[in-house]
Amino acid sequence: MQRLVDEVAAVGAFYTEARERGLTTFSADVLSTKSRKTLRLTILVSRLEAAPWAKAAGYGWVALDVLAGILMINEVAYDTAWAVRLGGHVLAGVWIVSSSLVSRAWPVTVVGVITGLWLAGYSFVGNVLPESFLRPAGILILVWFALLAIFHRPAEGRAATLSGLPRPATSPPSSRESADGFSGDRH
């Protein structure tokens, strides 16, 4: 988990560098490295507890973030790529808030809810606020990742094998089966 936190910190540094240099001047190598690091977040999405719809939002965030990077590699207009990235931030906010609310550690919950709401909320008002208003969310997400590295523990009692699955319930025989004496296959 610490390695993932370090990689996410590198992604945060990438965003800072991108803003300083201007996103369209980046080489394909730098952006594709960032996309690979973003794809590694899928591991975190799969491991954190959240409802299936929230995990889908997390995967959607990763997909849209990679798409935004590829749009920039191919020199698509900044406004278009930025709109795609903001759409991904809405999904990121949904995933971060929902996975934070089921955390057993209150620091993860508090920072996660603030981060998710900030990310998603900015996406709806980003056309009237400067991008600098999004920077605190970038710092908060790094803090959230660090808190996850410190406090997150896998759910207890969850088995990765079929032996951990509950047995299916057997249904009682129907009234017809019990009336004619057959309780199974008639062949």
DSSP string, 158-176: --SSGGGSPPPPPPPPPHH
**% of the chain with per-residue pLDDT over 90:** 40
Position 172 in a domain: no
> Residue 11 above 60 pLDDT?
no
Going from the C-alpha of 119 to that of each of 1, 4, 89, 99, 136, the distances in angstroms are: 23, 20, 6, 15, 9
Q: Is the model's pLDDT at 8 over the cut of 80?
A: no
Q: What integer is the mean pLDDT of 140-169? A: 66
pLDDT in tens, 32-72: 555 566 667 888 888 888 999 999 999 999 999 889 988 98
Is residue 122 in a domain? yes
For residue 149, pLDDT beyond 80:
yes
| In a domain? residue 44 | yes
Between 19 and 128, the more confident residue is: 128
Is 30 a residue whose pLDDT tops 80? no
Is 42 inside a domain boundary? yes
Residue-wise pLDDT for 131-142, tens only, equals 899 999 989 999
Domain assignment of residue 44, given as a range: 2-152
pLDDT digits (tens, 9 = 90+) for 115-127: 999 999 999 998 8
pLDDT at residue 168 tops 80? no
What is the DSSP track for 92-143? HHHHHHHHHHT-S-HHHHHHHHHHHHHHHHHHHHTTTS-GGGGHHHHHHHHH
Residue 117 lies in a domain: yes
Q: Could you tell me the pLDDT band of residue 170, with boundaries at 50, 70 and 90?
A: low
Query: What is the percent of the chain with per-residue pLDDT over 70, rounded to a whole number?
Result: 60
Spatial separation of the C-alpha atoms in residues 116 and 90, rounded to whole Å: 8
123 touches 85 (CB < 8 A): no
Q: How many domains does the chain have?
A: 1
Exposed, middle or buried: residue 71 (CB in 10 Å: 0-12, 13-18, 19+)?
A: buried
Average pLDDT, the chain: 76
* Residue 154 confidence (pLDDT) above 90: no
Q: Is the pLDDT of residue 26 over 50?
A: no
Q: What is the mean pLDDT of residues 150-162?
A: 55
pLDDT band per the 50, 70, 90 thresholds, residue 164: very low
Is residue 180 assigned to a domain?
no
In-domain check, residue 7: yes
Q: Give this prediction's pTM.
A: 0.65
Distances (CA, A) of 15 to 48, 134, 167, 176: 24, 11, 48, 68
The verdict on residue 99 lying in a domain is yes
